Amino acid sequence: MLGFFSFTEITDPKGHREYNDWHSLDHMPEQFSLDGVLFGQRWVCTPECQEIRAAVSPQLEACHYMTLYLMSDPSVLPEFADLAERLRQEDRFFADRRAHLSGPFDVQERWAAPRVKVSAEVIPFRPSKGIYVVVGPAVDGEALVAHDGVAGAWSFAAPTSPGADPARQITVAFIDGDLAATAAELSQWCLEKPQSGRQPTEWAGPLAYLDTESCDWFDRLTPQW
């Protein structure tokens, strides 16, 4: 199994409503026409989330959203790319966006907090308030899920291919407690734990669940973006 990530900036400050409508109602649903796409979700880095971040690199600082697709195996990637090209040709792509980190990462380890009962394999499918993401160094997953409010976590590693950084990992913790309080605790934990290896922390912070049934979150955030 692998995860396909996209850390995305909306380059037109007025384009968030159009982007969210396009992604929620057109782009993401179309991905599930591919048999190997098992899961898809997108989260937003609100101004409140930005304030709680423990670290962010210049490459990722401008990103507003993170999307994650889970795929059964690498054989899905050519179909995934072909579908993207077809949608572009049909003028079904959003122009005012820029992906600062995008591509496939292999699933490495999975953890579940004992209190949630379910297995680690199904943690992404369980309802959550948002996520806490660490890009860069490896994270101690057992210690991560020991924090209150963390239901479980998955780690991903860059595949061994030309141009990929083999040391870069992405760890996604799924938060079912209060997002702000849990994220603040995790950011403090990230700042206090010693840096292992030479891989810098490119992102350590929360992203909120996107409620596609309501746009009031968007109306509130637009002026700040």
Segment 7-29 shows an average pLDDT of 93
pLDDT value for 14? 87
Where do the H-state alpha helices sit in the chain? Answer: 16-22, 28-31, 47-52, 76-89, 141-145, 179-192, 216-221
pLDDT value for 213? 63
CA 90 remoteness from chain centre: 27
Segment 135-147 shows an average pLDDT of 94
In the chain, where are the structural domains located? 2-220
225 has pLDDT over 60: no
165 has pLDDT over 70: no
Q: What percentage of the chain has pLDDT greater than the value 70?
A: 88
Mean pLDDT over each residue of the chain, to the nearest integer: 91
Cα separation, 126 vs 112, in Å, equals 11
- Global pTM value: 0.92
Question: CATH number of the domain at 2-220, please?
Answer: 3.30.70.100
Segment 116-128 shows an average pLDDT of 96
